[in-house]
Structure 1
Amino acid sequence: MLGAITSVIDGKPEAARSALICLLAEGHLLIEDVPGVGKTMLARALAASIDAAVRRIQFTPDLLPGDVTGVSAFNPIEREFEFKPGAVFANIVIADEINRSSPKTQSALLEAMEERQVTVDGHTHLVPHPFLVVATQNPLEMEGTYALPEAQRDRFTMRISMGYPDARAETLMLRQRETVNPLESVRPVVTTHEVAELIVAARHIHVAPAIEEYTVSLAQATRAHPDLKLGASPRATLQLVRAAKVAAALEGRSFVIPDD
């Protein structure tokens, strides 16, 4: 999977690795950077490497919550309301420029991201498994953006920045992409069933009590630091351990070390 992603994203191996860790840790990824550095390309490359249901949502100021989660529509033939699933019902949801929509629409993803389900008109509908939200956003200083609610930011396992490519990678991009789109050559290398098995395997990576205490001490330190307005939540502590397990698995280890 890493090979498929890095064949599209030149010179950004850490960004590709972070995306894979979020997927296998059952988390979500937020990519924040200026326009044109490959945020959406990274999300699409990850999606293309998996034989899974993929939906892309272009967040705009007029996007409604029902467009994301789905709505109940009246069926005149059956004479009853039936649920029409929204774009969130996919294995990988690409939320492009998420901070260009209103906070109300942004919050439509909250339940799906945390509980893997959507409730509409009192009825609960499960989203597919595995489930990953890869959201991109422009810096808040950009015109026409809305800050993500703190409750939603807390549901993202990682927030990364792509950064500009180095001179070598940018020159290579000019040569390779003049006549062909690298995404067209990416083929699925795993199925959703195989991804689910990898997730289960990552859960069984051993975490020693000393590592657990170290993780908690890190979270506690952020809550007591005078320069931080808001420290890490218990959810963040849990996600840190899950990500560390996946990082250990990617290194071929059956146990977590502090460097993970």
Structure 2
Amino acid sequence: MSYQRVLLKLSGEALMGELGYGIDPKVVSEIAQEIADVVNSGVQIAVVVGGGNIFRGVKASAAGMDRATADYIGMIATVMNAMTLQDALERIGIPTRVQSAIAMQELAEPYIRRRAIRHLEKGRVVVFGAGSGNPFFTTDTTAALRAAEIDAEVIFKATKVDGIYDADPKINPHARRYQSLTYGHVLNHELKVMDSTAIALCKENNIPILVFDLTVGGNIIRAVKGEPVGTIVGGFCEVS
């Protein structure tokens, strides 16, 4: 199965590569080129980016900071990442719009659903920043929300592992990778794919989630073409 409109969920950590903090411009350029390959193939792509490479609200709140304040700071970090990705994309000729759920009119468009869809239809990449604009919700949940709003056919959850396993493959060499999973299995077994709110939202709107390894070059375009990469959530339980 190939897709025509996808939503790519990038963690903030994906942008820092092997660095301990911040943004690795080389890694961002590589990700931008992969996104460009998708656009040049005629597929519409939107991106939700996290901010964990700069600030993690949950960690800060655990250390005593007010949770809502910490989450708002994290949202601002995601806008920094969104602007960085926009710059990398536009340097290689891919028109890109950043839409922020928190008003930052000098830096980004406000999030407007119809405008986002129109950008996609015109072949532009839309990068959603500032999460959902509300504290206590993760960028995973934002990805599920935006995917439903723009009628994306699938969420690509780009990670550093090649799918979902029945055990930690770094600890258990006999861990088996799932080829597909039901939403219920992920929720019932508390698998660390996305948070439960995001999974439930995807289940309600019948949006599959494809989990794959971002560090393997070409995986995004392979996923767009429907090639077997990673684990798909939304089907039935099958291990490889």
TM-score range for the pair, normalised by the shorter chain length? 0.3 to 0.5
TM-score of the aligned structures, taking structure 2 as reference length: 0.37
Larger radius of gyration: 1
TM-score of the aligned structures, taking structure 1 as reference length: 0.35
